[in-house]
Structure 1
Amino acid sequence: MGCCSGRCTLAFICGMQLVSVLERQVIDFLGYQWAPILTNFLHIIVVILGLFGTIQFRPKYYAAWLVIWMTWNVFIICFYLEVGDLSRSDLVLTFNLSMHRSWWMENGPGCRVTPITPPPSWAPEDHRYISISDCLMNFEFIEVAHSSLQILLALAGFIYACYVVKLISEEEDSCNFGFVTSHIWELKV
Structure 2
Amino acid sequence: MGRCNGRCTLVGFCCLQLVAALERQIFDFLGYQWAPILANFLHIMAVILGIFGTIQYRSRYLMMYAVWLVLWVGWNAFIICFYLEVGRLSQDRDFIMTFNTSLHRSWWMENGPGCLVTPVLNSQLAPEDHHVITVSGCLLDYQYIEVLSSATQIFLAVREPLPSGPGSGWRGPHRTFLSPRGEQRAPRGAAHTETRQVEGWMLRGGRNHSLGGITPCR
Q: Sort the TM-score into its range (normalised by shorter chain).
A: 0.7 to 0.9
**In the TM superposition, what are the counterparts of 1:51-66 in structure 2 within 5 Å?**
51-57=51-57, 58=59, 59-66=62-69
1:41 is displaced (CA, Å) by 0.3
Kindly provide the amino acid, as one letter, of the partner of residue 22 in structure 1: L
Query: What is the TM-score with the length of structure 1 in the denominator?
Result: 0.85
Q: Does 1:74 align with 2:86?
A: no
Q: Output the CA distance in 2 between the equivalents of 1:66 and 1:27.
A: 22
Higher helix share: 1
- Residue 135 of structure 1 corresponds to 138
Q: Deviations over 1:9-43 (max 9, x none)?
A: 01000000000010000000011110000000000
Match of 1:152 in 2: 155
Q: CA separation in 1, counterparts of 2:66 and 2:81?
A: 23
Tell me the distance in 2 between the aligned counterparts of 1:142 and 1:9.
Answer: 28
Q: Is the 8 A contact 2:11 2:51 kept in 1?
A: yes
Question: Contact 1:70 / 1:151 at 8 angstroms: preserved in 2?
Answer: yes
Structure of larger gyration radius: 2
Contact 1:7–1:164 (CA<8 Å) still a contact in 2? no
Q: TM-score, normalised by structure 2?
A: 0.74
Output aligned runs, 1:85-96, within 5 Å.
85-89=88-92, 90-96=94-100
CA contact (8 A) 1:32 1:100 kept: yes
CA shift at 1:98, angstroms?
Answer: 0.8
CA contact (8 A) 1:6 1:164 kept: no
Q: Does 1:107 align with 2:111?
A: yes
Once the two structures are superposed, what CA deviation does each residue of 1:119-174 show, in whole Å capped at 9, x if it has no partner? 21x532311210000000011110000000000001112xx11x3438849859x7
Match of 1:186 in 2: none
RMSD between aligned residues = 2.5
| Structure 1: distance between partners of 2:111 and 2:154 | 24
Matches within 5 A, 1:10-89: 10-57=10-57, 58=59, 59-89=62-92
Greater relative contact order: 1 or 2 (C-alpha under 8 angstroms, separation 6 or more)?
A: 1
Unaligned segments of structure 2, at least 5 residues: 170-174, 180-185, 197-218
Q: List gaps (5 residues or longer) in structure 1.
A: 184-189
